[in-house]
Structure 1
Amino acid sequence: MHIGEILKERTIILRGADPVTQHGFVQVPTVILTAKDITGNAKLVYTMLLKYAWNDGSCFPGQERLADDIGISRDTANLCINELAKKGYLKVIRRGQGKTNVYEVNIKVKRRR
């Protein structure tokens, strides 16, 4: 079952949530958090892409929005996206003509030794 369907069913009810926790959570695979082959900013970009995907069922934010949401420059966001793609953590699908890219976030990543 897709996460969107699970969320529609409201299988988890948060009681006593404060204004911070009412906006939800993002689960990040430990393999990402402990990866030695990517930078901290790249881990944050990966996490934000997961946040977008879990919320909307798809993942195609503009780099400007991504950078603004994280608090980094657009250039840094772009470097991180390229870093993640080069290492196999995500795939960038360019749509061209001023449209945002589509990002396939790889949850299952082969560890490099």
Structure 2
Amino acid sequence: MPKTRYTISPIQTVQVEPNVYLGKASGYYDPIAKKYEMITLLPGSYLSKNSFDDGWVPENIAYLIREGAIEDKGTVYEVIKPICGTPGGTAAITQGKDGSSRPNGYKLWKFSDGKTIDEAGERPNK
């Protein structure tokens, strides 16, 4: 059986202040980080509990619960330990959308001035 590559992964504790926001989630955006480390979801953020038929989201949610990075709080998951991922991947688990409805994180994550990553011109040219 092939090993699953988790799109969203817990990381060691980080000392950063949130600089992007999406719904009930706050994160730290680093445009020069590796693709899968650009957004760090910070503790206290909430993730949607929309149900998915299959795909990477349920596998990642189960993995994050096993790793103690998120906790089931009934109607949402709460981030307990920092989690990093792509802007799109973190937006997907934050909003509970995947597949054809998977969100574009560069157009959803917003800085405190209300501009998205794209609107602020902060999207990397990779």
Q: TM-score, normalised by structure 1?
A: 0.27
Larger proportion of helix? 1
When Rg is computed on C-alpha atoms for both structures, the one with the higher figure is 1
Q: TM-score, normalised by structure 2?
A: 0.26
Greater RCO (CA < 8 Å, at least 6 residues apart): 2
